[in-house]
Amino acid sequence: MQHTLSVLVENKAGVLTRVTSLFARRGFNIDSLAVGVTEDPTLSRITLVVNAADTPLEQITKQLHKLINVIKIQDLNPADSVERELVMFKINAAPEKRHEIIEIANVFRAKIIDVGRNSLTIEATGSADKIDAMEDLFRAYGIKELVRTGKIALARGSRES
Amino acid sequence: MTKRMNGAEALVKSLEAEDVEVIFGYPGGVALPIFDALYDSKQIRTILPRHEQGAVHMADGYARATGKAGVALVTSGPGATNTVTGIATAWMDSIPIVVMTAQVATSVIGTDAFQESDITGITLPVTKHNFLVKDARDLPEVVKEAFYIATTGRPGPVLIDIPVDVSKGELDFAYPETVSLPGYKPTFKGHAKQIKQAASMISKARKPLLYVGGGVIASGAEREIKDLAELMQIPVTTTMMGKGGFPEDHHLWIGMPGMHGAKYTNYTITETDLLIGVGVRFDDRVTGKLSSFANKAKIIHIDVDPAEIGKNKLVDVPIVGDAKQVIAALVAELRKSGAEPKTEPWMRAIDDWRTNFPLHYQHREDALMPQYVVQRINELTKDRDTVIATEVGQNQMWACQFYTIRRARSWVSSGGLGTMGYGFPAAIGAKVGRPDSLVIDIAGDGSFQMNPQELATAVVNDIPVKVVILNNGFLGMVRQWQELFYGKRYSASVLAQDCPDFVKLAEAYGALGLRATTPAELDDVLTKAFDHPGVAVVDCRVVGEECVFPMVAPGGSIDEMLGGIPGCPVSEMLDDELLEEVWE
Ligand SMILES: Cc1ncc(C[n+]2csc(CCOP(=O)(O)OP(=O)(O)O)c2C)c(N)n1
């Protein structure tokens, strides 16, 4: 099962390695990872997506808690949280195809952020599903390059403690 | 009040503030500023081992025997990498040590500079925490945190990596009074409701069993365990790490569980209806096949580390907390409710097993049996304050089976990692911390050859430890597995009983070397060694091909044990069905 873990850590050198190597040591693959500083500059938030059954995940969460620099861990329930990813596509776009591609981008409220002679670069944010759907449509034109940030997520306001 | 000084001096001042009395230290280029600062310390004695692995085992042995954090200091590169086995040993057994490694200058870190090694990276999986200090001004705080982390909660090794420019850098020294670690809050008190429920289960149980591990030693809960056991007349089994957590001459003590536990101990575990695990981790050497371990019992599990609870075995009542506090609360609860023991029939059954399935070996008059040597050591030291260290292998298991540990912190043995070469340097560390105790390393000839160079450390620094080698001329435990499971094909397990000549080796280092080859001369030789004011090594030429029994085959159920049946040859115990199970 897919789990989204939101891990609040001290913003110090090497902390990300401590967190990720714990997953590696126990044979878990991290599907996506995003990290950045929080409203408090001494803290960072790591958002991890992992595929794991509940029991091994519980063990790894407990092990994560033991890391001295880890402050809080939430296993975010998709129903109670908001999730976003940022993606950039560089798409083959001969002049006669540009219009079509821009139409599609508009449907997804994506932005054109760079125009080349034969390519368009498009930025979009959204849930993983939305991004997957866009990718499907753009594939027909040929995706030259694609980069995704990895999921970031927050518990919904009603769940604040 | 602050005082201007360099990083190395601040480091030493910080260690002094932590009450450090001894450092096991091996120098090298980038460590020199620190060693230079140590030269002036009136409080800290610096002991030079002959190998960095020895330094860390010494710090570890010191910690196990005293309960205080042990400290080692080494140089960068090879000095640092030589500490890894020692750190991993302490990690597996949750022993509080602080290891300081010098490092190349911050300006060249990451350039493969001479004697650079990424020791914080290398030790990440085997330390509770580690630090790379980048600024001299951080040193006092880091030392404070390192000792706090190493010694609280579930203890463990902490490493501090100190670049040479940090040792030389200047700062205004002030030692912090408190630590600020927002992500580290070990739980001490158990959950009151959980404790109540446990008390109620204990008061009703007819066949309860206390299963006590290293956590009890770490927490200093031996008094509380004894109170609980005696109040409710609950039998106690102590794991190898828990030895000393309950006096082994007490009638409620029923032995060590697991692979080389006594039959009566393992039968008791199989039959108990309430297993109370305290500071244990349901290790595979204890449980054997998990599905049949204590499978008639409800389980209460008390541990300070929440990650241990439910890790290997599902439990009915988990209690996260410090063993000493939780057991004290349990006892108070039981006293308040007026609970009375109901275990008389249970104890009678156990005593029956004890009589019918005792630990057993065939004594010989014409040759020295290893078990007999341990029994004699036990007899000759029973009125003395003694610390027993062991190496790894058969020697360790026979020490478990035939030496009676009566007090906490008098047993020093590598459990989780099973590190050959641990016992002797650990014994030296123990003796440094407990100069008035008799400290004996019960050794195998293989293991002792892994760190014999520390004889120099012991002799030169006048640390009079005793080594009794059960010299069987084999890597005995390996040979045993090969005898039982590999058709006696002794591949790479044959040593030579007379090479080295351990008596001459001892003498070469200026220690007393003695030899015993028959039971008749054994007592004399041992007494001479124990009464000798200096370091002594006793070479006991024991029977070569003896096995440790009983034995649970790897992966087998603990109530199905090989051996330990008087008069039954091993070949008859090993049927094809069992061998098949072993290979599964
Ligand atoms: C450093 C290390 N290497 C290898 C092993 C595997 N091993 C476990 S017991 C053993 C044999 C120990 O031989 P010895 O010290 O002579 O003790 P005995 O079993 O004969 O008492 C070996 C090689 C180990 N535990 N530690």
pLDDT in tens, B339-358: 999 999 999 999 999 999 99
Amino acid at the residue A105: A
Residue B476, ligand 1, Cβ within 6 A:
yes
CATH placement of domain B3-173: 3.40.50.970
Q: What is the pLDDT of residue B565?
A: 57
B579 pLDDT above the threshold of 50: no
Residue with more model confidence, B331 or A161 = B331
Count Cβ atoms within 10 A of the Cβ of residue B238 and give its class: 0-12 exposed, 13-18 middle, 19 or more buried.
Answer: buried
Check CB contact of B314 with chain A, cutoff 8 Å: no
Asked whether the predicted pLDDT for residue B28 surpasses 80, the reply is yes
Residue A7 has pLDDT above 60, yes or no: yes
Residue A55: predicted pLDDT: 86
The Cα B55–Cα B174 span in angstroms is 29
pLDDT at B564: 62
Q: At what angle do helices A95-107 and A128-139 cross, to 10 degrees?
A: 160
For the Cβ of B399 lying below 6 angstroms from any atom of ligand 1, the answer is no
- Fold of the B192-356 domain: Rossmann fold (3.40.50)
For B226-261, the pLDDT digits (tens) are: 999 999 999 999 999 999 999 999 999 999 999 999
Q: Of A14, A18, A63, which has the smallest distance from its Cβ to B307's Cβ? A: A63
Paired sense of beta strands A43-51 and A2-10, if any: antiparallel
Q: What is the pTM of this model?
A: 0.95
**Which residue, B154, B401, B354, B399, is CA-closest to B258?**
B401
Residue of A nearest to B153 (CA): A66
| pLDDT surpassing 80 at residue B411 | yes
pLDDT of res. A130: 93
Whether the CB of B84 sits within 6 Å of ligand 1: no
Scan for tokens 């061998």, then name that residue.
Answer: B579
Average pLDDT over residues B112-120: 98
Nearest CA in chain A to B186: A66
d(CA B346, CA B209) in angstroms, rounded, equals 10
Task: Show residues of chain A in contact with B310, CB under 8 Å.
Answer: 58
Ligand 1 and B457: CB distance under 6 A: no
Write out the H or E segment, with its range, that includes residue A16.
helix A15-25
Q: Closest Cα to residue B26, out of B49, B4, B42?
A: B49
Orientation angle between helical segments B344-356 and B263-271, nearest 10 degrees: 150
Residue B488 burial (C-beta neighbours within 10 Å; 0-12, 13-18, 19+): exposed
Residue B361 token pair = 């070996």
What does the pLDDT look like over A41-55, one tens digit per residue?
A: 999 999 999 999 988
CA distance B79 to B100: 11
Token pair of B164, please?
């040479």
Whether B400 lines ligand 1, by a CB cut-off of 6 Å, is: no
Contact A21 B183 (CB under 8 A): no
Provide the pLDDT for residue B422: 98
Mean of per-residue pLDDT scores for chain B: 95
CATH topology of domain B370-541: Rossmann fold (3.40.50)
The dihedral through the CA atoms of B520, B521, B524, B525 has a sign that is: negative
Decide: helix, strand or coil at residue B487.
coil
**Predicted local distance difference test score (pLDDT) of residue B576:** 52
CA–CA min distance B124, chain A (Å): 7
Q: How far is the CA of B480 from the centre of ligand 1 (A)?
A: 11
Per-residue model confidence (pLDDT) at position B582: 45
For the cut 70, the answer to whether the pLDDT of residue B402 exceeds it is yes
Rounded average pLDDT over B39-47: 98
Cα B221 to Cα B217: distance, rounded to the nearest angstrom:
6
What pLDDT shows up at residue B9? 98
Q: Enumerate the residues of chain B whose CB falls inside 8 A of the CB of residue A71.
A: 182-183
Gap between the Cα atoms of B510 and B18, Å rounded: 35
Rounded-to-integer distance, Cα B452 and Cα B128, Å: 29
Residue B63: CB atoms within 10 A of its CB come to 30
Give, in order, the Cα–Cα distances in Å from B263 to each of A134, B282, B375, B444: 66, 18, 19, 25
Residue B350, helix vs strand vs coil? helix
State the pLDDT at residue B571: 46
Sign of CA dihedral B275, B281, B284, B285: negative
Per-residue pLDDT, averaged over B256-267, amounts to 94
What pLDDT was estimated at residue B1?
A: 64
Domain with CATH 3.40.50.1220 in chain B: 192-356
Query: Residue B116 corresponds to which tokens in the numbers above?
Result: 């650079």
Q: 3-class DSSP state for residue B36? A: helix
Q: Residue B184: its chain A contacts at CB < 8 A?
A: 68
- How far is it, in rounded angstroms, from Cα A33 to Cα B530? 61
What tokens appear for B286 in the block? 């204890």
Least Cα distance to A126 among A102, A148, A143 occurs for A148
Q: Where along chain B do the CATH 3.40.50.970 domains lie?
A: 3-173, 370-541
pLDDT tens track for B428-450 = 999 999 999 999 999 999 999 99
- Burial annotation B91-112 (CB, 10 A radius, 16+ → b, else e): bbbbbbbbbbbbbbbbeebeee
pLDDT at B467 over 90: yes
Q: What is the mean pLDDT of chain A?
A: 93
User: Scanning every residue of chain A, which has its alpha carbon at the shortest distance from the alpha carbon of B182?
Assistant: A71
Position B567 pLDDT exceeds 80 = no
Average pLDDT (A111-136) is 95
CB proximity list for B302: less than 8 A, separation 6 or greater: B190, B198, B215, B276, B277, B278, B279, B319, B321, B323, B326, B327
Could you tell me the strand order of the sheet in which A43-51 lies?
A30-37, A43-51, A2-10, A70-76
Going by their DSSP bridges, the two strands A70-76 and A119-126 should be labelled as: unpaired
Q: What pLDDT, on a 0 to 100 scale, did the predictor assign at position B382?
A: 96
CA distance B307 to B130: 20
Helix axes B476-485 and B394-402, enclosed angle (nearest 10):
100
Give the up-direction half-sphere exposure of residue A1: CA atoms within 13 A in the CB hemisphere.
Answer: 13
pLDDT at B107 over 80: yes
In the three-class reduction of DSSP (H, G, I as helix; E, B as strand; rest coil), residue A53 is classed as: coil
CB contact under 8 A, B183 and A68: yes
Q: What is the pLDDT, as a whole number, of residue B584?
A: 42
CA-CA distance, B17 to A25, in Å (whole number)?
36
Identify the band that residue B569 occupies on the pLDDT scale cut at 50, 70 and 90.
Answer: very low
Nearest partner of B332 among B206, B222, B188, B192, judged by Cα: B192
pLDDT of A90 higher than 60: yes
Domain range annotation of chain A: 2-76, 82-153
**What phi, psi does B460 have (nearest 5°)?**
-65, -35
What is the rounded distance in angstroms from the CA atom of residue B528 to the CA atom of residue B538? Answer: 10
B398 CA closest ligand 1 atom index: 21
Same fold for the pair A2-76 and A82-153: yes
d(CA A1, nearest CA chain B) in Å = 20
Which range is least confidently modeled, B204-208, B490-494, B525-529, B558-562?
B558-562
pLDDT tens for each residue of B155-172? 999 999 999 999 999 999
**Is 70 exceeded by the pLDDT of residue B78?**
yes
Could you tell me where the beta strands, DSSP code E, fall in B164-222? 170-173, 208-212
Instruction: Give A157's DSSP letter.
Output: G
Helix, strand, coil percentages, rounded to 5, for chain B: 40, 20, 40
Candidate of B401, B441, B475, B548 to mutate for ligand 1, largest count of ligand atoms within 8 Å of Cβ: B475
pLDDT tens per residue, range B476-513:
999 999 999 999 999 999 999 999 999 999 999 999 99
Q: Please tell me the predicted confidence (pLDDT) of residue B146.
A: 98
Q: What burial class does residue A147 get, using C-beta atoms within 10 Å of its C-beta: 0-12 exposed, 13-18 middle, 19+ buried?
A: exposed
Question: Does residue B572 surpass a pLDDT of 70?
Answer: no
Report how far residue B202's alpha carbon sits from residue A16's, in angstroms, rounded to the nearest whole number: 44
pLDDT for A160: 53
pLDDT tens digits, B364-374? 999 999 999 99
Fold classified for A82-153: Alpha-Beta Plaits (3.30.70)
Label residue B404 by pLDDT band (50, 70, 90). very high
Instruction: Give the DSSP H/E element, type plus range, for residue A132.
Output: helix A128-139
CATH number for the segment(s) A2-76: 3.30.70.260
Which pLDDT score, from 0 to 100, does residue B349 have? Answer: 95
pLDDT score at B555? 87
**Interface ipTM above 0.95:** no
Which residues in chain B touch residue A67, judged by CB atoms under 8 angstroms apart?
A: 129, 183
Between A104 and A128, residue with greater pLDDT: A104
pLDDT at B63 over 90: yes
pLDDT band at B563 (very low <50, low <70, confident <90, very high): confident
Query: How many separate helices (H) and strands (E) can be counted in chain A?
Result: 4, 9
**Interface contacts (A, B; CB < 8 Å):** 35
Tens digits of residue pLDDT in B213-222: 999 999 999 9
CB spacing of A21 vs B124 below 8 angstroms: yes
Set of chain A residues whose Cβ sits within 8 Å of the Cβ of B109: none
Question: Are A91 and A144 within 8 A, CB to CB?
Answer: yes
Distance CA(A14)–CA(A32), nearest Å, equals 19
Shortest-distance Cα residue to atom 3 of ligand 1: B420
